Amino acid sequence: MAGPAGSGRLEAARDGLLQTLSRYRQCKGHAITVVFDGWQGGLGAEHREFQSGVEVVYSKRGERADQVIQRLARLYGKDCTVVSSDHEVVNSARAAGAFVIGAPEFRAKLQDRPSPSPNMAFKELDRGEAEVVKRSKDKGGNPRKLPKSQRKRNQHLKEF
């Protein structure tokens, strides 16, 4: 069980995250909501506040942050992006129509460096990097072109 020193590190980590997200919001102009767990020691009701232009939501006692994120994804659907690596949250957000980015991918975006993509087997035409993609003979289309779903995701990431 973490004592006061553990809670101090947690607060410092939260503050650092909020500062980073605030800078990102200023650069990109996106509305950002971050959800923190309040389920063990939180208030009886969900608590919301703004810090440096970032909306901060603390889940109510008895509710996990994941549940709040899933609820918000259902509420906003395709008009939101969810950053999470939790499979349950990711699946729920995708089912609601939200754009989903894994936490490592978003962290790399915050640090302005390319992130590892799960679909790197396809050639990235703008960089000239390639691995040979084996396709069956009955497949049509340009074998050097990313699938439409991946091109759409990449375009969304550029805007994000």
What are 145's two structure tokens?
Answer: 């072109």
pTM above 0.75, yes or no: no
Alpha carbons 156 and 160: distance in angstroms, whole number: 6
pLDDT tens for each residue of 88-140? 999 999 999 999 999 999 998 888 754 444 444 333 334 444 444 555 666 66
* pLDDT of amino acid 65: 93
Of the CA atoms within 13 Å of residue 72, those in its CB half-sphere come to: 23
Q: Which residue has the higher pLDDT, 75 or 141?
A: 75
Vertex 79: Cα angle to 74 and 81 (nearest 5): 80
* pLDDT tops 80 at residue 145: yes
Largest CA distance in the chain: 63
Instruction: For the sheet with 54-58, list strands across it.
Output: 33-36, 54-58, 47-51
Judge whether 39 and 61 are in contact, CB under 8 Å: yes
> What are the residues whose beta carbons fall under 8 Å from the beta carbon of 5, sequence distance 6 or more?
none
pLDDT tens for each residue of 17-63? 999 999 999 988 889 999 998 766 667 888 899 999 999 999 998 88
Q: Which residue has the higher pLDDT, 146 or 76?
A: 76
